[in-house]
A and B are shown apart, each in its own frame.
Chain A
Amino acid sequence: MLRRLLGFLSSLKLTIACLAASIILVFVGTLAQVNFGIHEVQQRYFQSLLIWWPANSQGLKIPVFPGGHLIGAVLLANLITAHIRRFKWGWNKLGIQLTHAGLIIMLAGGLFTDLFSVESFMRLANGETKNYSEDSLHVELAVIDESNQELDQVTAIPEAKLRNGGVIEHSSLPFRVVVRHFYQNSRLQMLDGKSKLEPAATQGVGSRIAVVGIPRETAENARDVVSVVIEIIPPAAPPLGTWLVSDQLGAPQTFFCAGKKWRLVMRQARYYKPYSLTLQKFTHEQYAGTEIAKNFASKVTLADTERSENRDVLIYMNHPLRYRGETYYQSGFEKGDQATVLQVVHNPSFVAPYIACIIVGAGLLIQFGWHFSGFSHRRKIAPTTT
């Protein structure tokens, strides 16, 4: 049984099937971007084990095709198993072995990157200091305990938890947060006397606003407006009411519970750092007499008390700042050059593609060099014909 399983896992047919499935997946996924947008397609098609087809409106879903993670994982397993089963040491096989090892590292690195890398952005106005970056796609509900004079205790509930709905309980919260409605994308509408729409919530600004669910954004430069109606229920007490939280409602809302003042704010998910960056100056140079960009540069001060770091760093195109496993790229700016936008990439396996390319390159060089050498040798000793 085990032998058959390994035979299947290491078969060339499985490799071909996986490669064919990859081609189909990329083709279909590319077409699907027209309707779903790039981010939705990435999640549904490439960052999933299976692609699900909604069979009916009641939520029944049927898997119709393997997703990117499954194809990648099977291909990786196939490559590793085949590599191990057919491994035979010999100098003449070194090139092939290296090439395959490089491919394994590349595939594994891709999977690691997909699973563990985090991309976010840090916007800094001139003179501004920040110790966090913000997710460009996902929001979080920050429930903030303001009772301490100096520090706020933040309980950040991620978008995924809100999307799942139900009751959210946490030891840091002396109440339950119940998700009543979750809108992946929404339009907020002020209520007037003539409106037939119902207010979204009973408390806060939501009592004067209606929420209309709309289809998800598909444009690459657009994102959904996530809105959630939550109910706050203290233990052994009647519910405090419902609140509308939305990242379009930037202003926080407050309530009192368990003798403390709490603040609710929906915002882009934040990633706090143990260090801070201060933008000293953003430079935007153009070629003389034109509006063609010549150079963009952000001079920032990196301050890290844990490591006693305090130094100025110039971040410009192709010269990112790499610090504590994160890479800061010059990504954009705001009009008037008043603020810079840095892309922050945390990718523990960022070296994998470089190593893989070097190993594959070396493997191919050795393999072809070996063949060339043999061919050349045979030519030398072959009898000449007239």
Chain B
Amino acid sequence: MKFSHALFYPCMAAVLVCVSGCNDKDEIKVYRVSKENPAPENPAMPGMEPMGGPMAGGAQPSLAAEPAPGIADTAPSGWVSQPPSSMRQASYLVKGDNGATADVSLVTLGGSAGGILDNVNRWLGQIGQPAISEEKLAQMVQKVSSPLGDVSVVDLEGLPTGGDAMKDGRILAGIASDGSRTFFFKMRGNAALVEAQKEAFIQWIGSVRPSEAVANPMPSAPVVSAPVQAPALEKEKPQIKWEVPKGWKSAPPSSMRYASFTVAGPGGGTADVSVSVFAGNGGGDLGNVNRWRGQAGLQPVAEGDLKSLIVPLKTKDGDVLTVDLLGPTTHIVAGWAEIDGRSWFFKITGSDAVIAGEKEKFVKFLQSVQFHP
């Protein structure tokens, strides 16, 4: 065996290593491709893209179609995920009747990103409305709690000159900041559709959260998808459906509430309807009933007396236990059910003058609940 032959192989190995430095992945490539639909140009700030732009999609790396690194959300049913555009971390299209559409986006930027007033005035400008003052803004803003912090939500209406009423006319937008980043939540589209989707939009804001648990097959971004092995995303926000009675207006949910409604009664009185969900049994029947009794100004009851107060109610999806607690000033009707390891609580609170008229609607509301839509 000649040594020169033996040396050939190590030399080949060395050459192999050297070529690692000249990988063709690092070379400029030139190629021709069919034209794509470009995304809108220069969306200078969140929400500035023209309507329809985000839906054009194509030119964007679609891998970035989801929330930013460390951010996850749960889209309400019926929202169709869209390829991202501009600085969007999440993008959805909502379709209504007769071609009505609304565009939903989540954008994250560093720093204060212009502040609330500047952004609200910019959005107003987009729908052809004049700018407002700080004082006026304070009257318009609603606060919604979310895992990312308090979100300032505004509801703006107006159609820009030449705007398409089926795709434009109203903006629901929210701004939140965690100190280093600013989050922009926005729904823009047909006014009636946006109104119908307001509750879903508020719920969606509440669902946007840091996503430590969601692994990603693509190390990036945009936590694009739950990995095949861990479809945990869908688990995090339980899905539930109901029919909202006429006259009930959705209110922003808080961190403790899954949903809220405000009910106007006779003589200017109002009632508050809340839907909450907790893991496990949520404290037990006796503890909860006595807590509500306390809120209604009633004395607690003993375990033995509890059964006589509870009335089961059939719903579309199983039984719900209910109590009707009329106190000196406050009337509470509550229903609860333990489903899939979670306890759901539905409660209407107000003066007896309002609750007496709304109890029937509340019962129908409970009967319409579907825990497994």
Contacts and interface: CB of A to CB of B under 8 A. Distances in A.
A76 B114 contact: no
Interface residues of B, number: 85
Contact of B60 (A188, A254, A267): A267
Interface stretch (B43-51, B143-151, B352-360): B43-51
A270 B14 CA distance: 30
B39 A190 contact: no
Most chain B CB within a 10 A radius of its CB, from A108, A249, A250: A250
B33 interface: yes
A154 interface: yes
B87 A341 contact: no
27 contacts: A2-B7, A6-B7, A47-B20, A73-B16, A121-B217, A123-B65, A136-B63, A146-B35, A172-B30, A190-B113, A192-B113, A222-B70, A223-B221, A250-B85, A250-B88, A251-B41, A251-B43, A252-B38, A270-B61, A286-B231, A296-B228, A330-B228, A331-B217, A331-B227, A333-B226, A341-B224, A341-B225
Interface string A64-77: 00000110010011
Given A69-B17, A341-B217, 11 more contacts: A9-B10, A80-B6, A136-B220, A154-B29, A154-B33, A189-B113, A222-B221, A250-B86, A250-B87, A332-B225, A332-B226
A339 B65 contact: yes
A35 B69 CA distance: 18
A136 B234 CA distance: 24
A220 B219 contact: yes
B43 A205 contact: yes
Contacts of A146: 35
Interface in A158-192: 158, 160-161, 168, 170, 172, 187-190, 192
A293 B231 contact: yes
A250 B84 contact: yes
A150 B33 CA distance: 9
Contacts of A170: 28, 30
B26 A160 contact: yes
Interface in A297-350: 317, 330-336, 338-339, 341, 343
A84 B9 contact: yes
A221 interface: yes
B14 to A, nearest CB: 6
A212 to B, nearest CB: 6
Interface stretch (B104-112, B132-140, B192-200, B263-271): B104-112
A51 interface: no
B91 to A, nearest CB: 10
Nearest to B11: A77
Contact of B114 (A111, A158, A192): A192
A365 interface: no
B311 interface: no
A243 to B, nearest CB: 11
A219 interface: yes
B307 interface: no
Most chain B CB within a 10 A radius of its CB, from A47, A118, A123, A153: A123
B225 A188 contact: no
Nearest to B35: A152
B323 interface: no
A338 B217 contact: no
Interface in A261-314: 263, 265, 267-270, 272, 284, 286, 291, 293, 296
